[in-house]
Amino acid sequence: MTRLALERVTFRYPATEAPALLDVSLEVTGGEVVALVGSIGAGASTLLLVAADLAPRVVGGRLEGRVAFDGEGVRGIVLPTPWTQLSGMAFTVWDEVAFGPANLGLARDEITRRVDRAIARLGIEGLVSREPTTLSGGELQRVIIAGILAMQPGLLLLDEPTAELDPIGARSLWELVRALAREGTAILVATSDLDALPAVADRVAWLDRGRLQAIGSADLLGSEALVAASLGPTVANVWHGARLPSPYPVSVAQALQRWEQR
Amino acid sequence: MTRLHPFTLLAIAAALPALAWILPAPAGGLAMAVVALALALTTGVFRTAVFTAAPFWLFLLLLHDVPTTVAIGLRITTMVSSFVWVVAALPPPRLVEAMVAAGWSASAAYVFAATLSAVPVLRARAGRIADAQRCRGLSPRGGPVQRLRALRALATPLILSALHEVDERALALETRRLVPGTRRTPLAPPSDHAVERVTRWALAAACAAALAWRLR
Same domain, B10 and B60: yes
For residue B48, report the phi and psi dihedrals to the nearest 5 degrees: -60, -45
How far apart, in whole angstroms, are the C-alpha atoms of residue A170 and residue B200?
A: 52
Residue of A nearest to B183 (CA): A105
Whether B146 is covered by a domain: the verdict is yes
Closest residue, chain B, to A78 (C-alpha): B172
Ramachandran bin of A32, using left for φ above 0, alpha for ψ from -120 to 50, beta for the remaining angles: beta
Q: What is the mean pLDDT of chain B?
A: 89
Same domain membership, residue B113 and residue B80: no
Q: Is A60 on the interface with B (CB under 8 A)?
A: no
Mutate to test the interface with B, among A53, A94, A103 (most CBs of B within 10 A): A103
Which residues of B are less than 8 Å from A86 in CB distance? 172
In chain B, what residues touch A58 (CB-CB under 8 Å)?
Answer: 170-171, 174
Answer whether residue B175 is part of any domain.
yes
d(CA A198, CA A175): 12
Quick: pLDDT tens for B121-162. Answer: 777 788 888 888 888 887 767 777 777 777 888 888 888 888
DSSP letter, residue A204: E
What does the alpha-carbon distance between residue A173 and residue A33 come to, in Å, rounded to a whole number?
13
φ and ψ at residue B2, rounded to 5 degrees: -70, -10
- Tens digit of each residue's pLDDT (9 = 90 or more) over A126-169: 999 998 888 998 999 999 999 999 999 999 999 999 998 999 99
pLDDT at A71: 77
Domain with CATH 3.40.50.300 in chain A: 1-73+154-216
- Which parts of chain A register pLDDT below 70? none
Same domain, yes or no, for B86 and B141?
A: no
Long-range pairs, A162-170, Cβ under 8 A, ≥24: A162/A191, A162/A193, A162/A196, A163/A80, A164/A82, A164/A137, A164/A138, A164/A140, A165/A138, A165/A141, A166/A138, A169/A138, A169/A141, A169/A142, A170/A196
* Res A68: pLDDT: 95
Residue in A54, A74, A89 closest to B96 by CB: A89
Residues B19 and B84 both lie in one domain: yes
- Mutating which of A92, A99, A144 best tests the B interface, going by the most B Cβ atoms within 10 A? A99
SS3 B2: coil
Whether A88 and B117 lie within 8 Å, measured CB to CB: yes
Please indicate if any CB of chain B lies within 8 Å of the CB of A48: no
Cα of B11 to nearest chain A Cα, Å: 21
pTM, two decimal places: 0.82
Q: What residue of B is the nearest CA neighbor of A133?
A: B121
Residues B1 and B81 in one domain: yes
**What integer is the mean pLDDT of B4-19?**
96
Q: Are residues B42 and B8 both part of a single domain?
A: yes
Contact B31, B16 (CB under 8 A): no
Select the residue of A91, A98, A106 nearest B91 (Cβ to Cβ): A91
Q: Are residues B4 and B59 in the same domain?
A: yes
pLDDT at B150: 79
The ipTM is: 0.83
Residues B60 and B127 reside in one and the same domain: no
Distance CA B172, CA B191 (A): 30
Give residue B158's pLDDT. 87
CA distance A224 to A236: 9
DSSP secondary-structure letter at A133?
G
Return the residue of B nearest to A151 by Cα. B176
Nearest to B52, CA basis, from B92, B80, B14, B94: B80
- pLDDT given for residue B140 in this prediction: 67
- Domain limits at B39? 1-93+204-216
Which H/E stretch holds residue A216?
strand A211-216
The residues on B that touch A, with CB distances below 8 Å, are 91-93, 96, 106, 110, 113-114, 117, 121, 165, 167-179, 182-187
At position B183, the amino acid (one-letter code) is R
User: Which residues, at least 6 apart from B65, have a Cβ–Cβ distance to it below 8 Å?
Assistant: none
CB contact under 8 A, A103 and B184: yes
In a domain, B196, yes or no: no
DSSP states of A142-184: HHHHHHHHTT-EEEEEEESTTTT--HHHHHHHHHHHHHHHHTT
State whether B177 and A111 contact (CB < 8 Å).
Answer: no
Closest CB to A52 among B106, B175, B183: B175
Residues B34 and B65 in one domain: yes
In angstroms and rounded to an integer, the radius of gyration of the C-alpha atoms of chain B is 20
Domain assignment of residue B24, yes or no: yes
Number of H helices, E strands in chain B: 8, 0
What Å distances lie between residue A260 and A243, A255, A256, CA to CA?
A: 17, 9, 6
Residue B87 shares a structural domain with residue B116: no
A12 has which bridge partners? Answer: A62
Task: Round to whole Å and give the CA distance between B29 and B189.
Answer: 35
In a domain, B161, yes or no: yes
* Alpha carbon of A111: minimum distance to chain B alpha carbons (Å): 9
Phi-psi region of B119 (alpha: psi -120 to 50; beta: other; left: phi over 0): alpha
Mark whether B35 and B88 lie in a shared domain.
Answer: yes
Is any Cβ of chain B less than 8 angstroms from the Cβ of A77? yes
* A148 contact B CB<8A: yes
DSSP B192: -
The reply to whether B31 and B87 lie within a common domain is yes
Q: Which residue of B has its CA nearest to A60?
A: B167
CA distance B90 to chain A (A): 12
Closest Cα in chain B, distance from residue A129 (Å): 15
Q: Is the peptide bond before A247 cis (omega within 30 degrees of 0)?
A: yes
Tens digit of each residue's pLDDT (9 = 90 or more) over B48-101: 999 999 999 999 999 999 999 999 999 999 999 999 999 899 988 888 889 888
What is the least distance, in Å, from the CA of B179 to any CA of chain A?
Answer: 9
DSSP labels, A64-122 = EEEEEE--SSEEEEE-S-GGGS--S--SSHHHHHHHHHHHTT--HHHHHHHHHHHHHHH
SS3 label, residue A33 = strand
Residue B199 in domain: no
Rounded to the nearest angstrom, the minimum Cα separation between B166 and chain A is 8
Domain count, chain B: 2
Residue B200 predicted with pLDDT over 70: yes
What is the edge-to-edge ordering of all strands in the sheet holding A33-37?
Answer: A74-78, A153-159, A186-190, A33-37, A203-208, A211-216
A91, A100, A111 member nearest B177 (Cβ)? A100
Domain A1-73+154-216 CATH superfamily? P-loop containing nucleotide triphosphate hydrolases (3.40.50.300)
